[in-house]
Amino acid sequence: MNPIVVLLVMAVLILVGSALASSTEAAMLTVNPIQVHTLKQQRVAGSKALERIKARPGRALVLLVVINNLFNISGSILLGSQANQVFETIGGRWALLLFNIGFTVAVILFAEILPKTIGNSFAMPISLVSARILLMLERLTLPLLLVLEKLMPAITAKNELTTNEREIHLMARLGSQQGQIEADEAAMIGKVFALNDLTARDLMVSRVATPSLSGAASLDSVRQEILDAPDDAWWVVLGEEVDEVLGVQSRERAMAELLSGGGYRLISQLCDAPQFVPEMIRADRLLTSFRRGDRSSVRVVVDEFGAFVGLVSAADILGVLAGWKRVPSEG
């Protein structure tokens, strides 16, 4: 075969092999493990193998670096030997120098920069296609990888699929800046995490400010107070004893009873049974206590001694998320 043809074929093989390793390396670094997990649940081809690789990404990256260097270093040595033979008879030393410069530029452009750009742009498709091949190569080179794990455990350590609050905040902010999500949506994500730092005591209406009714009173006796209250008003129904909470009464049900002629009935007969929560319960857990179908959208807050200290509603929590209720500042 013509030596020049052999030289060109070798150069193309080195560039293609190195480019494939570089693009796959960039794709593996770019692909999001959360997206991979979602694709696995959807049974997308290659996603199961890709998730296994992302569990120990260091192994795949080390393998790709080794492959890339084999093409670049070993291939270049063989190519250099072939180039010496070719240019001994054609062009001489200057032709060899120009070829080496041209090939170096080609490696930088077509085996590094361009493939990595493509790998970043098409990370998921490239990763899915190459995942099974990489797994097979990992099995074939497992002894080498195990040695590297002993020598450099940090490089090939297992990677758990985790994220933290700070990362989610940063992703939300970045998504808002790039127009991927709305600014108010990003702000709401931050407020969801703020619920972890709030308690029922932070959100409740204190006892002294909570409207109350006597359980011994009739609806007719408090008719005007009920009529003057806002539509979403709730009262704590108190008994004769100190801190005796008989229940909670909504304006909606009281109005319905008045309109149906039940004004003679006692408040204690109409009110809903109270649901108590400790004042130090976290707001996120408190929110989950409000279930669809509950007649009462309020909870009676008690201290460590069981004494009534305030009233909190689902609207108080949702107000923090929506932004129209100010989050109490620390201190």
* CATH code of 227's domain: 3.10.580.10
For CA atoms 24, 26, 30, 33, give the dihedral sign: positive
237 and 216 in contact (C-beta within 8 Å)?
Answer: no
State pLDDT tens for residues 34-64: 788 888 888 899 889 998 888 878 788 888 8
> Is residue 328 assigned to a domain?
no
Whether 89 and 184 map to the same domain: the answer is no
User: Is the entire prediction scored with pTM above 0.75?
Assistant: no
Question: What is the rounded average pLDDT of the residues 304-325?
Answer: 84
Q: Please, which pLDDT band fits residue 327 given cuts at 50, 70 and 90?
A: low
Neighbours of 21 (CB within 10 A): 23
Q: Do 138 and 271 sit in the same domain of this protein?
A: no
User: Is the same domain home to 224 and 122?
Assistant: no
Q: Residues near 276 by Cβ (< 8 Å), separated by ≥ 6?
A: 245, 299, 300, 301, 302, 306
Residue 86 within any structural domain of the chain: yes
Q: Is the pLDDT of residue 158 over 80?
A: no
Residues 47 and 129 in one domain: yes
One domain, residues 139 and 230: no
Query: Please, what is the average pLDDT of the chain?
Result: 84
Backbone angles phi, psi at 161, to 5 degrees: -80, 85
Higher pLDDT, 28 or 178: 28
Domain-embedded: residue 103: yes
Looking at the structure, tell me whether residues 183 and 212 fall in a common domain.
no
Asked if residue 59 and residue 47 are part of one domain, the reply reads yes
Tens digit of each residue's pLDDT (9 = 90 or more) over 104-126: 899 899 999 999 999 999 999 99
Whether 70 is in a domain gets the answer yes
Residue 165: strand pairing partners = none
User: Quick check: 50 and 147 in contact, CB under 8 A?
Assistant: no
Phi, psi of 234 (to 5 degrees): -130, 145
Inside any domain, residue 329: no
Residue 29 included in any domain: yes
CB environment 148-160: b (16+ within 10 A), e (fewer): bbeeeeeebeeee
Domain shared by 39 and 114, yes or no: yes
In a domain, 158, yes or no: no
How do 308-313 and 205-206 pair as beta strands? antiparallel
Closest residue by Cα to residue 219 from 231, 237, 207, 242: 237
* 308 and 297 belong to one structural domain: yes
Residue 331: per-residue pLDDT = 42
Instruction: Tell me the C-alpha distance between 37 and 41, whole Å.
Output: 6
Query: Are 140 and 13 found together in one domain?
Result: yes
Instruction: Say how many domains are in the chain.
Output: 3
**Do 118 and 219 fall into the same domain?**
no
Nearest to 168 by CA among 157, 179, 181: 181
Query: Are residues 37 and 20 part of one domain?
Result: yes
Q: Which domain holds residue 170?
A: 165-195
Position 292 confidence tier, pLDDT thresholds 50, 70, 90: low
Q: What are the residues facing 238 on neighbouring strands?
A: 214, 245
The residue among 125, 151, 177 that closes a domain is 151
With a CB cutoff of 8 Å and minimum separation 6, the contacts of 274 are 236, 245, 246, 247, 248, 300
Does residue 331 sit within a domain? no
